[in-house]
Amino acid sequence: MIDGIEVLKAFAPHRGDALVTHSGTTGGRWGEVSENPGRDLRLESSMGQTTSAAFGLALGLPDEKVVIFDSEGALLMNLGVLASVAGKAPKNFYHFLLDNECYATTGGQPVPNAQGIDYAGMAKSVGYKSTHHFDDLEEFVTSVEEIMQEEGPVFVSVKIEAEVQNLPMGLRTSSGGRSRLETIKDFQEEMGIPAP
């Protein structure tokens, strides 16, 4: 198992101008390492649907690389999106799955068949152009630059340690940062896209 924040840190130097969004506990820490917040989007609200929003973004901005740091709990809740992505096959779509085998934000209960699912194999069989799986940080570090040069849709699953949160919601401290609507507004300004 890999410390998830190390995955984000290893990815950051190879981001280039890619647009980045995320779901899940560890993906939510992307803001700690991002050096280009104008191209970051916080889209989470309906569990599982951030992946579809990132897919729509990739279709709408075909000249930009779109990266999502997904979680396995969220993906399981919207598994059909793999087929939807593979069907349209956006060349600019980079789907990173941070798999901690549990619902970390609700206390660490295991997802169904937590240790028995081959997500990269699933993405491959459904039609993603390129798929990878890592459970070793060094292998990820040495591969990520090349992965970001591949033609999408690309799927990368990485086994990470769970950052389990057990406090009642009312006692948790906010991670702070910009709201979802603020990131959308900032992003559209950065990209020169008129607000609706």
Beta carbon nearer to other proteins, 140 or 187: 187
Within residues 53-82, the interface with other proteins by CB under 8 A covers 53-61, 78, 80-81
Q: In what order do the strands lie in the sheet with 66-71?
A: 40-41, 19-22, 66-71, 93-99, 154-159, 130-134
- The amino acid present at 110, given as its one-letter code, is P
Q: Residues binding other proteins: what is the number (CB under 8 A)?
A: 35
Q: Read off the tokens for 185.
A: 């507004």
Q: Which of residues 17-46 bind other proteins (CB under 8 A)?
A: 41, 43, 45-46
Residue 1 vs 77, nearer CB to other proteins: 77
Decide if 90 contacts 59 (C-beta within 8 A): yes
Measured CA to CA, the distance from residue 81 to residue 24 in angstroms comes to 17
The answer to whether the beta carbons of residues 44 and 179 sit under 8 Å apart is: no
Residue from 6, 9, 18, 49 binding other proteins (CB under 8 A): 49
Q: Which stretch binds other proteins (CB under 8 A): 5-13, 29-37, 101-109, 181-189?
A: 181-189
| Residue 187 lies near other proteins (rule: CB under 8 A) | yes
Report CA-CA distances (Å) from 191 to 55, 90, 169, 178: 17, 19, 35, 18
CB closer to other proteins, 10 vs 41: 41
**Positions in the binding site for other proteins (CB under 8 A):** 41, 43, 45-61, 78, 80-81, 83-84, 87-88, 180-181, 184, 187-188, 191, 193-194, 196
